[in-house]
Amino acid sequence: MGVEGCQEQTLLTEPIATQTIEQVFPTTIPNDAPTHEALQQQEVFRVTIEVHSVIMTQTTVQIQVKKRERREGILQKELHHQTTRATEAPHLLRTQATKGQRLVVQQNQLQVAPLEVLVHQEEDKLMLRLNRFLKNLENKEMKKIRLFTLVFSALLSSNMMLGQSVGEVVRYGFEQLNGSARYQAMGGAFGALGGDLSAIANNPAGSSVFAFNEAGASIGIQSFSTDTNYLGESSNVEKSSFDIKQAGLVLVLTNPSSKWDKVAFGFNTQTLSNYDKNLFAQGTNYNRGLEDYFLQNATGISYNTFDFNNNADDEYSFLGSRFGYAAQQAYMGLYTYTITHDDLNNAYIADGLVRGGIKQTFEYNTSGRQQIYNLNFSGRYMEKLSLGLNINLHAIDYAEYKATEDIYLDNASSLSQVFFQQDLKTFGTGVSFQFGAIYKATDVLRLGLNYTSPTYYELEDEYTEGLETYYLDTTNATQRAAIYPNVVNLNGPYKIKTAGKVQGSAALVLGKKGLLSVDYGKKNYGSSSITLPYAADSNAINTEISTVLDDASYLRIGGEGRIGDLSLRAGYWQEDSPYKDKAVMDDFSGFSLGMGIRFGSGSLDLAYTKSTQKYGRQLYYTGLTDSVNVNENAGQVALTYNVRF
């Protein structure tokens, strides 16, 4: 298969602004020249050298010889480069990842921006001297670069950024059932009840329902069992994690002589989402492979963009900071011969024999937390109406490891194995507001109403990646080519606005016998948005969000029965998919059971929750676009201790 590259630019026949290497880098350094340290602190250092343009004609034989020489040269250069690194900086020597093995790179402090060098061909002697100069300035620790107009902008034409952005909006707008054990055991249906520390995050008016000052904390163990089906083959993987689920306190002040007879101040923090889960899938693909992913990323990029004589780390850094994500992917594919370039037809080629079958394995592991901190104030008017306000601070710490391996089953294929891995870290903070009310209609009936604003996040991404292949050379000997750039790509900061929600609630309080509560609400996922540096990019993403996402309703039901100091609880919840196409993500539902006991001024509560959700996980958003069908089952046990004072 082949994809046409961009037409090469016509070479100029006249020399333009030529300079010698001595003019660019004088051997005598003036006294007022910047120091080596000052040079390292510059964010961008660009050396532009213009040379005579040359028109050359080559025969087909010369082209083929040149391609073989370049292939052999890169292999020798890689060996020399690794040896040089080991000699100059032994503490940075990395063990290359073998198939199926994750490469771990130690990240140190933020370093200077990469040196950007734009060299317009063809003087080998000049190139060698320039590379030696750059090597002297190279930082020995992992470099960090900021991608050109974010990864999203760079991927606009490939639709990858649209899929990632929609998924990110859903990921940070969706909330798992977490909090205190009592809150979980009743399915989170506390909008009209209050009187629980986690209920503050549901309806801020709930803090004025407390009769006493109270403090408490919760711990829990959560496990995810993930069943997958990919191209007809089934797999399963499980992961468990321990977490401090919740902690908070409420201070209550009463004044019976005032119409506002009670005010309360509260603080609560709890996990909104736990990302500690793994996914594994495998199957045989007869239609496409990783080569298609790199081929699509190379589409529209001129082959002259890439300089294979440059140090691989420097070239990868330069391409990312100058041209963006797609250029980096294309370079990695060409560097490792996952794809090649046909000079005669000016086209990129993926020549692995896909039709013979590819044994594919896909690994997608995530970790981290989404945490909320509620700063609460509420007051009660004439023992009937409670009003409350929350200022919510949010924190995101998310990590993702994704790896795909292709093993070609046709022995005649020029590619025998391809392994591609990516590590992503996302972190940032956000803010939202809540307004709520609880009205005591009768001694039995309580009504609740609350509004939660969208959460406004500012996020940043860091990611690293690596690619290696085993292929047949022109003599049919198996060769290995690998690139694991010692570079951290930086995206952001960028802004995300997640879905807001409106909720109505009702509860029946049956004295000391028990209670029954219901919450019903709606989230407007379709109004979520992402703000990027360029308006055109933001508009494209937000148009896709409004097209793909929809409003999602949710229902929570909880009940509690009391026998003296012992309480028995149960709950159920269901939430619609935020996607218009439920094949992307189906509705979410679960149930819960629990119990609690009071002793003196303290109480101890226990809860068990079980939930299930089906969704599709697309491997990549261009080229290799097959999806894994996922059935995710989550179980959780939570324990809470509260004390009144």
Cβ-in-10-Å burial (0-12, 13-18, 19+) of 443 comes to: exposed
463 contacts: CB under 8 Å, gap ≥ 6: 422, 423, 424, 425, 488, 489, 491
**Would you say 599 and 614 are in contact if contact means Cβ atoms under 8 Å apart?**
no
Whole-structure pTM value: 0.77
Instruction: Please tell me the distance from the alpha carbon of residue 569 to that of residue 519, in angstroms, as a whole number.
Output: 16
Give the single-character DSSP code of 525: G
36-64, pLDDT tens digit by residue?
Answer: 444 333 333 333 333 333 333 333 334 33
- What pLDDT does residue 473 have? 87
Rounded Cα distance between 213 and 485, Å, is 56
Q: Which residues of 501-532 are buried (b: 16+ CB within 10 A; e: fewer)?
A: bebebbbebeeeebbbbbbbbbbbbbbbbbbb
Rg of the chain, C-alpha, whole Å: 30
Domain boundaries, the chain: 2-150+287-349, 159-276+362-384+434-451+499-644
Is 170 within 8 Å of 578 (Cβ atoms)? yes
pLDDT digits (tens, 9 = 90+) for 309-355: 999 999 999 999 999 899 999 999 999 999 999 999 999 999 888 88
* Residue 591: exposure state from Cβ atoms within 10 A (0-12, 13-18, ≥19): middle
| Tens digit of each residue's pLDDT (9 = 90 or more) over 451-481 | 999 999 999 999 999 999 999 888 889 999 9
10-residue mean pLDDT profile of the chain (645 residues): values are 41 31 34 40 35 34 41 47 38 30 28 33 40 43 57 38 68 94 98 97 97 97 97 97 96 96 98 97 97 96 96 96 94 96 94 91 97 98 97 97 97 94 97 98 97 97 96 90 95 93 97 96 95 82 93 98 96 97 94 97 97 96 95 97 97
Q: What residues have CB less than 8 Å from 263, skipping those under 6 apart?
A: 208, 252, 253, 255, 377, 378, 379, 380
Report how far residue 114's alpha carbon sits from residue 137's, in angstroms, rounded to the nearest whole number.
Answer: 10
Residue 329, pLDDT score: 97
Output the CA–CA distances (angstroms, integers) from residue 321 to 9, 160, 330, 421, 488, in the order listed. 22, 19, 14, 21, 11
Rounded-to-integer distance, Cα 219 and Cα 407, Å: 44
pLDDT score recorded for residue 226: 98
Whether the CB-CB separation of 70 and 334 falls below 8 Å is answered with: no
- pLDDT at res. 536: 77
Q: Which pLDDT score is estimated for 251?
A: 98
Q: How far is CA 484 from the centre of its chain?
A: 20
Q: Is 359 within 8 Å of 505 (Cβ atoms)?
A: no
Q: Give the model's pLDDT for residue 591.
A: 98
What is the Cα–Cα distance from 179 to 191, expressed in whole angstroms? 14
Lookup result for tokens 């198996």: 478
Q: Which pLDDT score, from 0 to 100, does residue 518 have?
A: 98
Please tell me what DSSP assigns to residue 5. Answer: P
8 Å CB contact between 519 and 556:
yes
What residues form DSSP beta bridges with 607?
594, 638
